[in-house]
């Protein structure tokens, strides 16, 4: 009788601008499916009717206009209010978690990846077999985000300060991928796949 091999679930995390998504794309090009939890959370906040109602109930009707999430308004509400941020996470994370389960069950791949910026902070690492942290120096990360999002250094540093520090993420992870000019990414990725698979 054939037994389906146990699926290995890997977390992919890292601070703002570390290159999680960039590295995730490389994994998917190597045939490993990647679930982008941050993207999924945004999608659910727009498409999941029950979740939308709950968000509106707690944060007011102003967070949606013509059915579309007003990201800037919601961000402003939760940015400096830890309790409100926690309330939002409590609504969104169970939905994303369930969607990840559904997604995994239809992926016929021995290894799957869950990419999330706040993997440890949201306890989303629980249930995963291994975690990879993508790291780069603060200056490199700031430079990338300035270029990508066209926002100020000060805004980026404010966001960084609200995230778990990179060295703490590294300590909690099983693997670290160094994503800066001096290190090639593919050999690091292949080394990890070989160790996991």
**Sites of contact with ligand ATP (CB under 6 A):** 14, 16-22, 117, 144-145, 148, 179, 185
> Please, what is the minimum distance in Å from the beta carbon of residue 30 to ligand ATP?
16
Of the two residues 11 and 19, which places its CB atom closer to ligand ATP in the complex? Answer: 19
- Sequence-ordered strand ranges (E) for the chain: 8-13, 34-36, 64-65, 68-69, 111-115, 130-135, 175-178
Gap between the terminal Cα atoms of the chain = 22
- The alpha carbon of 8 is separated from its chain's Cα centroid by a whole number of angstroms, namely 18
| Beta carbons of 33 and 187 less than 8 angstroms apart | no
37-47 b/e with 16+ CB inside 10 Å = b?
A: beebbeebbee
> Please, what is the minimum distance in Å from the beta carbon of residue 133 to ligand ATP?
11
| Beta carbons of 115 and 36 less than 8 angstroms apart | yes
Tokens of 1: 């009788």
Residue nearest to ligand ATP (CB): 19
Of the two residues 4 and 147, which places its CB atom closer to ligand ATP in the complex? Answer: 147
Of the two residues 52 and 132, which places its CB atom closer to ligand ATP in the complex? Answer: 132
> Please, what is the minimum distance in Å from the beta carbon of residue 158 to ligand ATP?
13
Which pairing describes strands 68-69 and 64-65: parallel, antiparallel, or unpaired? antiparallel
Tokens of 123: 């306890």
> Please, what is the minimum distance in Å from the beta carbon of residue 5 to ligand ATP?
29
> Please, what is the minimum distance in Å from the beta carbon of residue 26 to ligand ATP?
9
Of the two residues 5 and 161, which places its CB atom closer to ligand ATP in the complex? Answer: 161
Alpha-carbon distances of 89 from 84, 95, 183, rounded to whole Å: 9, 10, 35
Of the two residues 18 and 124, which places its CB atom closer to ligand ATP in the complex? Answer: 18
> Please, what is the minimum distance in Å from the beta carbon of residue 122 to ligand ATP?
14
Of the two residues 64 and 113, which places its CB atom closer to ligand ATP in the complex? Answer: 113
């Amino acid at each position: 009788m054939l037994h389906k091999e146990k699926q290995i679930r890997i977390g992919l995390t890292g601070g703002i601008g570390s290159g999680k998504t960039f590295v995730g794309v490389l994994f998917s090009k190597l045939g490993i499916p990647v679930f982008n939890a941050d993207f999924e959370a945004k999608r659910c906040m727009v498409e999941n009717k029950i979740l939308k109602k709950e968000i509106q109930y707690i944060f007011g009707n102003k967070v949606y206009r013509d059915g579309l999430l007003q990201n800037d308004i919601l961000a402003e509400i939760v940015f400096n209010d830890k309790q409100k941020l926690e309330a939002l996470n409590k609504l969104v994370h169970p939905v994303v978690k369930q969607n990840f389960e559904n997604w995994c069950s239809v992926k016929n791949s021995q290894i799957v990846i869950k990419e999330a910026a706040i993997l440890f902070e949201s306890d989303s690492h629980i249930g995963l077999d291994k975690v990879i942290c993508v790291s780069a120096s603060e200056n490199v990360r700031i430079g990338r985000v300035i270029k990508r999002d066209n926002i100020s250094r000060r805004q980026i540093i404010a966001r960084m300060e609200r995230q778990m520090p990179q060295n703490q993420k590294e300590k909690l992870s099983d693997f670290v991928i160094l994503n800066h000019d001096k290190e090639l990414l593919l050999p690091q990725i292949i080394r990890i796949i070989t160790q996991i698979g």
